[in-house]
Chains A and B, each alone.
Chain A
Amino acid sequence: MPTNPPPSIVLEDVILAYGEHRVLDGLSLSVAPGSIYALLGGNGAGKSTTLSALLGFAKPESGTILVSGIDPAIAPDDARRQVAYLPENVALYEHLSAVENSDYLLALSGSPRSRDTIITALDAAGLQERAWDQRLGGFSKGMRQKVAIAVALLREVPVLLLDEPTSGLDPRATGDFNRLAIAVRDRGTAILMVTHDLLSAIDIADRIGFLDAGRIAEEVEAAGPDRFDIRALHARFAGPVAV
């Protein structure tokens, strides 16, 4: 009988405070390989702090955090090698082209790739050919994301963390991004997506968690062909629509 693989991302009863302010208050969630977990919540709910803790930039007071079995508070550099992270505003090097950015970041992460391989990944990420050798000065947010996704694809890391990935993208770019995220998931990557975008979450997530006051208030799972009940989710997330 096949056993389920251990989750790539684990947060268990995590308590994390900035001074007197407790930001995460008993947060528990897990993300299995090959699945997408959408973490929704209002401003100040603790979404970004969750990502910071997973990246080893914020240390919890108590609880367990594991990224591919590594505690980022103890071994941040080792944990980061398991993670690709896309911040809300992807920061890349303006003086380098898309190919050069990818080449540099991949070499830094210890996964150097040939130019042909990088171009294949950029193409797969949906970046148009004319942009491959252009410096990033004139790139839109969507184009930058595609470069970052290409790097994430090539790094072949088990964990992908996304921070508001569709914020500021037009519907077409959002659709492109969602397709990419699904493609990455299907390669077996565990994806934790922090977002305000309920529609994207419904589109691609296998599980959605509602974060409130530093803990998961409710967690729902995709089930059956209808996946999520959008009305119910919207009501939980934003409150009932006033008519």
Chain B
Amino acid sequence: MSVVRLIARDEWRLMVRNRVAVIGLCLTVLLTLVAIATSWTHQRGVADLRARHQAAASEAFDAQPDRHPHRVVHYGHFIFRPLGPLAAFDPGVDAFTGNSMFLEGHRQNTANFGDVRQSSLLIRFGQLTPAFVLQVVAPLLLIFLGYGAIARETESGTLRPLMLQGASRAWIVLGKSMALGAVALIVGAPAMAGLALIATQSDTSLFPVLAIAIGYAGYLALWTAAIVLVSAIVHRRRDALLALIAIWAVTVVLLPRVAPDIASVRYPLANRIQTDVAIARDLRAMGDSHDPDDRHFAAFKQRTLARYGVSRIEDLPVNYKGLLALEGEQMTSALFDRYSSQSFATQEQQNALVRAIGFLSPTIALRSLSMAAAGTDLAGHRRFLKQAEAYRYSLVQRLNRLQAEGVTYADDNADDAGADRRKRVTAANWQAIPDFAYRPMAGSDGAIAALSGLAVILGWLIAAALALAWATRRLGTR
């Protein structure tokens, strides 16, 4: 048996004989298994629920009777964001962002009903998911099992005798790293098995699954190297434990919690009331289609009459009110898009700052990687919002066009006894409108989005390995 394996075997023997270590390891593995089971059940439940709600909403929309198209515009439509299978591993921002939207004319609503708003505040601490266990709990367990790996030998005076048996510094460090790395493997294996199960139970692309697996493997390898490094530098077990707990508290707990706060202070985002007030002000300034003196709509009217070669709107071959609705929706949508683009730009600035802070905390980098690959990051939410807005705009304009072409101007303005009946168009028109179908990110795109986080973790891993090589050369010299 090689010296490295002998040293690793002795370290495992010590862990096995330490009941606290065995219990801690068993509990963490059990916690991971529970996390996989609950997270998978939760994801399936949520996905089924949203699919059922979506089907019910689509059915209700299609079940509308013959009616005026503009009533359908205001009847609106509910859509739900489907939850991808990898959300069972890392639900990301799903609990914090809304998961349903009400689509209607003249308004661009935000997503509603995020789980956090409907649950206890404890959910903000972190849901019990495989990602949470690996990001937060696993490093802590590795610290408790590995902090004394080399510091114990230094403190008890067995380091030099170990070296005098012919074990070189490098072999000692490799052996200790191998022992702790094997523990990291045991801790990470159930979560990785869960990830594989999720991937095989759904039509998930292999690329994001691989990105997640490599990212978490790198993260646990980084903690293994960091723990052995601190244990090699520090000469007393107590000091090693304190130093590692401090590193864990700052990089795993403090920075990931503080980084978004720093970002929101540095790049403040207008709240919903401020945005609504600003939009209302801009809408007023935009013009009133009912005001004959309004410059924009007067010009629009002139252009329309000229295009059709008539002098009165009553002579137009299409319903002028429908044309007005089309024009108005186009204008308000452009305004809403401007505001949402501003909001997303600010959010992107915030994210960029959080990512920059992620250079100090591999946990932030891992979270970014994990959420991006799972499609549960803010970019995934934005993708849903963009597709939802595109669908809303298409739906509303289709109905406005229906008003312009399917209801005459005369009927639209009539108020005689049969006028209401004449204003209606057949329900087949909205039944023919395709349902909203969310297009999730392509698997390869998820893997590409995870690359920046992966690069940060690998960078840290290389830095830790170099520092460990330096500490190895100094081992036993004092």
Contacts and interface: CB of A to CB of B under 8 A. Distances in A.
B431 interface: no
Nearest to A91: B157
B17 interface: yes
A237 B3 CA distance: 44
B394 interface: no
A193 to B, nearest CB: 17
B158 A92 contact: yes
Nearest to A55: B164
A73 B155 CA distance: 25
A234 to B, nearest CB: 32
A163 B17 CA distance: 32
Given A77-B168, A95-B13, A110-B166, A87 B160 contact: yes
Contact of A91 (B10, B156, B167): B156
Count class of interface residues, chain B? 20 to 34
Given A93-B10, A95-B13, A104-B6, A80 B164 contact: yes
B161 interface: yes
Interface in B213-230: none
Contacts of A105: 161, 165
Nearest to A92: B158
A203 B3 CA distance: 39
Nearest to A83: B164
Interface in A39-96: 55, 57, 77, 80-81, 83-85, 87, 89, 91-96
Contact of A95 (B17, B160, B165, B168): B17
B164 A85 contact: yes
Contacts of A96: 10, 13
A93 B7 CA distance: 12
B254 interface: no
A128 interface: no
Interface string A93-115: 11110000000110111100000
B161 A91 contact: yes
A109 B13 contact: no
B163 interface: yes
Indicate the member of B3, B156, B158 with the most A CB atoms within 10 Å. B158
A92 B13 CA distance: 15
Interface string B368-380: 0000000000000
Interface string B161-192: 11111111000000000000000000000000
Contacts of B6: 104, 107-108
Contacts of B160: 55, 57, 85, 87, 91
Interface in B117-159: 156-158
Contacts of B163: 80
B277 interface: no
A191 B363 CA distance: 55
Contacts of B165: 80, 105, 108-109
Interface of A: 55, 57, 77, 80-81, 83-85, 87, 89, 91-96, 104-105, 107-110
**The 10 residue pairs across chains A and B that have the minimum distance between CB atoms:** A91-B157, A108-B165, A109-B165, A91-B158, A81-B166, A80-B164, A109-B166, A95-B14, A85-B164, A105-B165
Given A83-B164, A108-B3, 4 more contacts: A57-B160, A57-B477, A91-B157, A95-B13
17 contacts: A55-B160, A77-B166, A77-B168, A81-B166, A83-B164, A85-B160, A87-B157, A91-B158, A93-B10, A93-B158, A95-B17, A96-B10, A104-B10, A105-B161, A107-B1, A108-B7, A109-B166
